[in-house]
Structure 1
Amino acid sequence: MSRVLVIGDIHGGLKALIQVLERASATEQDRLIFLGDYVDGWSESAQVIDYLLKLKETHECIFIRGNHDVWCEDWLKSGIIDDVWYQHGGKETIDSYAHIGADEQKKHLVFFEQTEDYHVDEQNKLFIHAGFSSMHGPAKERYASNYSWDRTLWEVALTMDRRIKKDSALYPKRLLLFNEIYIGHTPTLYYNVDVPMNGCNVWNIDTGAAFTGKLTCFDIETKQFWQSDTLQSLYPNEKGRNK
């Protein structure tokens, strides 16, 4: 039976990606939805993109764009190094491209260019890296950067008073637009949690792989999930991303 599996922020941790897909027993019948931030942090960012390019040849894959992916795409396109990006994982990503030829880099650039701002499936479930601010939904979002940067959607879902019912005028209209919403971007470690978190109909799958956490793969039907080892244990001689 095919599944829809959502994978959180990878941040250059190829070993964790391979491990978590193996633990989830992912097959070619499964749809794999990646929530973005493939790069920046651990030492194998370029190798993660190589792996994903090969994976999409055999699996149905949907790749959402994260804020770190935007930075990397801009660098591959222009060669200009953003100072903020460099300090937040960009250096490790640049280093990972040291032995990647020009032709391969062009393929990676195409990969980033083809990533999606968000995806809505057949069951009206939304998959987006960060969030959106428009009460009319991401299609009406005024600032495209919110797709990969917004945290207000998650903050609203997480702090909602559960006594407020969906038919109340007080219920946030953004949360009524989709049956479920899956996000990354905000590590659950910020809340001292190392597993996926749920607020209203929003699920946060970023379990801190960029830092001291693990990479998560989540079955949206059963809500079962699998995790890699901590990234620090997989890359013991590295520090990961700076906060």
Structure 2
Amino acid sequence: MRSILRPREPKAKPRLPDGVRIYALSDIHGCSDLLAQMLRVIDADIAHSKPHRAIEVFLGDYIDRGPDSRATLDLLIERDRRGNAMFLRGNHEVFLAEVFRDPSRLDNWLRIGGLQTLMSYGLTPSLHPDAEEQAALVRQLMAAMPPQHHSFLKRLRLTFTCGDFFFTHAGVRPGIPLAEQQESDLIWIRDEFLRSQDNFGKYVVHGHTPVRTPEILPNRANIDTGAYATGNLTLLTIEGTRLLAV
């Protein structure tokens, strides 16, 4: 039986350990040009201010909907070689893994942005692919994706914690300790989490649900600003107790 986390009174502002700066991005959705731009912003900021330790946290949904999922993964894999980045899993990465296991789900995936991902790997399905074509397309996609793309997607984490901050793709189930959260909630949750004013045990940084401008609230921060539709990819910088979204 899972234990229950009771709401607590607000405490002091959440804080990162001294000397640590975090740069967080979420829901890139194939917008490789916007990602490249934000990586340049991060590099310039680090070169200018020289933090003791900089950590980059990517909150998932790297693929689908936007124009170039393949180039997005290339950029992230190159970034990973620096050794100071954390890559979390989003629901779109989960959906792709499900398509690989069950090609009959391809049609549903195409409707939520998978078509753009297929095209970024040089594949174009017919308007209504039948079961045979679906299976063929999945085989072709698996072959077209470089081995490092498969490896990257398999290594994605569900959460990352640093100091008083908890990073995940969608959010957490209110009333449940962070260590006991279910993967389905971390990846998919919306209303129950978004409506909650609880103290979750740590300050939750997430994406998944697009907002017009970043939401910096007392118990959570939502940094999904719908990059593929708005052209606005938000970068959240955290240092000490300071949160800055641009």
Q: TM-score normalised by the shorter chain: which range applies? A: 0.7 to 0.9
> Which whole-Å CA distance do the structure 2 matches of 1:196 and 1:149 have between them?
19
Q: How many residues align?
A: 203
> Which whole-Å CA distance do the structure 2 matches of 1:138 and 1:203 have between them?
16
2:170 aligns with 130
1:150 aligns with 189
1:187 aligns with 210
Quick check: which one's helix share is greater?
2
> Which whole-Å CA distance do the structure 2 matches of 1:41 and 1:103 have between them?
19
1:229 aligns with none
Query: Which is greater in Rg?
Result: 2
- Cα separation, partners in 2 of 1:153 and 1:203, compared to 1, 3 Å: farther
Cα distance per residue 1:18-77 (max 9 Å; x no partner): 112223425495210001100011121011111111111124110110001112233456
Q: Does the Cα contact within 8 Å between 1:32 and 1:59 map onto a contact in 2?
A: no
1:166 aligns with none
> Which whole-Å CA distance do the structure 2 matches of 1:97 and 1:75 have between them?
16
Cα distance per residue 1:188-228 (max 9 Å; x no partner): 1xxxx3x21022220001011132241011112232233xx
1:119 aligns with 160
- Cα separation, partners in 2 of 1:77 and 1:54, compared to 1, 3 Å: farther
2:81 aligns with 57
Q: Does the Cα contact within 8 Å between 2:64 and 2:117 map onto a contact in 1?
A: yes
- Letter of the structure 1 residue corresponding to residue 160 of structure 2: H
Q: 1:21 aligns with which of 39, 58, 68?
A: 39
- Cα separation, partners in 2 of 1:185 and 1:101, compared to 1, 3 Å: closer
Q: How does 1:153-168 map to 2 (within 5 A)?
A: 154-157=193-196, 160=197
Secondary structure class of the residue paired with 2:64: coil
Point out where structure 2 has 5 or more consecutive residues left out of the alignment.
Answer: 1-18, 48-52, 124-140
- Cα separation, partners in 2 of 1:47 and 1:213, compared to 1, 3 Å: closer
> Which whole-Å CA distance do the structure 1 matches of 2:142 and 2:109 have between them?
22
Point out where structure 1 has 5 or more consecutive residues left out of the alignment.
Answer: 161-171, 227-243
- Cα separation, partners in 2 of 1:27 and 1:102, compared to 1, 3 Å: farther
- Letter of the structure 2 residue corresponding to residue 183 of structure 1: H
Secondary structure class of the residue paired with 1:214: coil
Q: Percent identity?
A: 29
- Letter of the structure 1 residue corresponding to residue 57 of structure 2: I
> Which whole-Å CA distance do the structure 2 matches of 1:60 and 1:47 have between them?
20
- Cα separation, partners in 2 of 1:43 and 1:70, compared to 1, 3 Å: same
- Cα separation, partners in 2 of 1:206 and 1:131, compared to 1, 3 Å: same
Q: Does the Cα contact within 8 Å between 1:130 and 1:149 map onto a contact in 2?
A: yes
Question: Shift in Å at residue 130 of structure 1?
Answer: 0.4
- Letter of the structure 2 residue corresponding to residue 47 of structure 1: A
- Cα separation, partners in 2 of 1:65 and 1:110, compared to 1, 3 Å: same
Secondary structure class of the residue paired with 1:132: coil
Secondary structure class of the residue paired with 2:179: helix
> Which whole-Å CA distance do the structure 2 matches of 1:134 and 1:155 have between them?
10
> Which whole-Å CA distance do the structure 2 matches of 1:51 and 1:78 have between them?
28
TM normalised by structure 1 equals 0.74
TM normalised by structure 2 equals 0.74
Secondary structure class of the residue paired with 2:229: coil
